[in-house]
Chains A and B, each alone.
Chain A
């Protein structure tokens, strides 16, 4: 007699490889290009937790997925319960939707643009104003020559 080895769903302890692959495929994949990182941890009762952390310097938790019994719990970094379900794929998709979407590259581009504008304002505008003042001074004289 042969016994079929059904995969038993883990309800306590560390993430299984399958669970972690699911989370990393959805959430971990977006981490590098957005300046985010992920880590795992445990509650004191041994429930697995997956943390998606925001960019440096704060690197605080933006999204946390925990496994309590057979349910997966999705919370934000302030402890607000966002979603809970027995299906991890569904929870991971909700988690992805809950992550602020502004990409790290976009943030860098905006910061760079602000720095360039600030430099232009500080360094070049006084020169332009000075030039304009000179022009205003010389216009009557130029007009007299004409």
Chain B
């Protein structure tokens, strides 16, 4: 069941033919993160507290597409969203470093 859910949540992908710019991709990543957080019924403040952040403003910064999820807290962030860290990182790589993602997983993800 969990596997099925994980497959579904990672199904969202940026349109391959549109070639959106870095900023747009970060915004798409933010929207995806916001959806995942809503699914586990956490507020930005809840998530920030669980990640050990004093304020929730950084969660908003990331979800609004102005910053990336830092690598050092990616694992913790994924666990709080109930997602498997490797799949979470791989999915975010698709937005943050699309060319790297294509080189690493291009054949598999199609």
Residues of A within 8 A of B (CB): 39, 41-45, 47, 49, 51, 53, 57-61, 64, 66, 68, 73, 75, 77-79, 81
Q: B: which residues have CB within 8 A of A?
A: 21-23, 26, 43-45, 53-64, 66-68, 70, 73
The minimal Cβ–Cβ distance linking A71 to chain B, given in whole angstroms, is: 9
Q: Is the CB of A73 within 8 A of B60?
A: no
Nearest 7 A/B pairs, CB to CB: A79-B58, A61-B66, A43-B60, A66-B57, A61-B67, A41-B64, A51-B66
Determine the chain B residues whose CB is within 8 A of the CB of A73 once the complex forms.
Answer: 55, 57
Number of CB contacts from chain A to chain B under 8 A: 71
Q: Is the CB of A43 within 8 A of B57?
A: yes
From A41, A57, A77, A81, B60 is in contact (CB under 8 Å) with A41
Grouping DSSP codes into helix (H, G, I), strand (E, B) and loop, the A interface class, with mixed when no group exceeds half, is: strand
Known contacts A43-B44, A51-B61, A79-B61: A59-B23 contact under CB 8 Å: yes
Query: B22 touching A58 by the CB < 8 A rule?
Result: yes
Rounded to whole angstroms, the CA-CA distance of A121 and B56 in the bound complex is 51
- A47 and B61 within 8 A (CB): no
- Chain A residue with Cβ nearest B53: A79
Q: How far is the CA of A1 from the CA of B22 in the complex (A)?
A: 59
Given contacts A44-B60, A77-B67, A78-B70, 5 further A-B contacts (CB under 8 A): A39-B66, A43-B59, A44-B44, A68-B57, A81-B55
